[in-house]
């Protein structure tokens, strides 16, 4: 995947993108690998180069706690932006669904890089803000659709009870 096709690096000059990638560690993860866990210290932001990653939360299913898919992210997308947002704790668990390749950007190195090149810092921060905004809007829409169903089911059961 071309660096500029990654949502985290969008808008960067090729040289700036290469410079930023230089501070990242490339991770090759077989299917089923846990990238990060709910509640864990968020030290890195991850850009998915190849593969597919599930973001899940624990839920009671059939009397047992199960990890349930909340979101799914693919090549070019970013996961783990909790590393850039206090209190720097992951609020989901990320696991590879297939063999995947990700770039791990350590927070400390990123902030140092941004300090040295504020223009790059601004662009990357805007990209992260854009990712967060889109995820929020998607989740708002998903939430409203579920609420709509709950309302319809409640009204239907109340009508049936009358």
Rounded to whole angstroms, how far apart are CA atoms 52 and 96? 6
Binding string to another protein for residues 111 to 130, with x set by CB under 8 A, is what?
--------------------
> Given candidates 21, 38, 70, 75, which one binds another protein under the rule CB under 8 A?
70
β-pair type (25-29, 52-61): unpaired
In the bound state with another protein, the residue whose beta carbon lies nearer, of 91 and 137, is 137
Element (H, E) at 111: helix 107-116
Per CB under 8 A, does 137 bind another protein?
A: yes
Per CB under 8 A, does 66 bind another protein?
A: yes
Q: Please choose, from the candidates 116, 106, 124, the residue with its C-alpha nearest in 3D space to the C-alpha of residue 24.
A: 106
> Given candidates 134, 147, 151, 155, which one binds another protein under the rule CB under 8 A?
134
């Amino acid at each position: 995947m071309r660096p500029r096709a990654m949502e985290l690096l969008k808008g960067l000059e090729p040289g700036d993108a290469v410079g930023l990638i230089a501070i990242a560690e490339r991770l090759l993860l077989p299917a089923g690998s846990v990238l990060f866990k709910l509640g864990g210290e968020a030290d890195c932001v991850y850009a998915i180069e190849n593969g597919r990653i599930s973001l899940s939360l624990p839920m009671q299913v059939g009397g047992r706690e199960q990890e349930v898919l909340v979101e799914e992210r693919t090549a070019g997308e970013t996961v783990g932006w909790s590393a850039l947002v206090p209190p720097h704790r992951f609020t989901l668990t990320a696991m590879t669904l297939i063999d995947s390749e990700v770039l791990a950007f350590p927070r400390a190195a990123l902030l140092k890089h941004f300090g040295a090149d504020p223009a790059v810092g601004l662009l990357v921060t805007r990209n992260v803000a854009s990712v967060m905004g889109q995820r929020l809007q998607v989740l708002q829409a998903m939430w409203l659709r579920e609420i709509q169903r709950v309302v319809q089911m409640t009204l239907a059961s109340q009508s049936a009870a009358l």
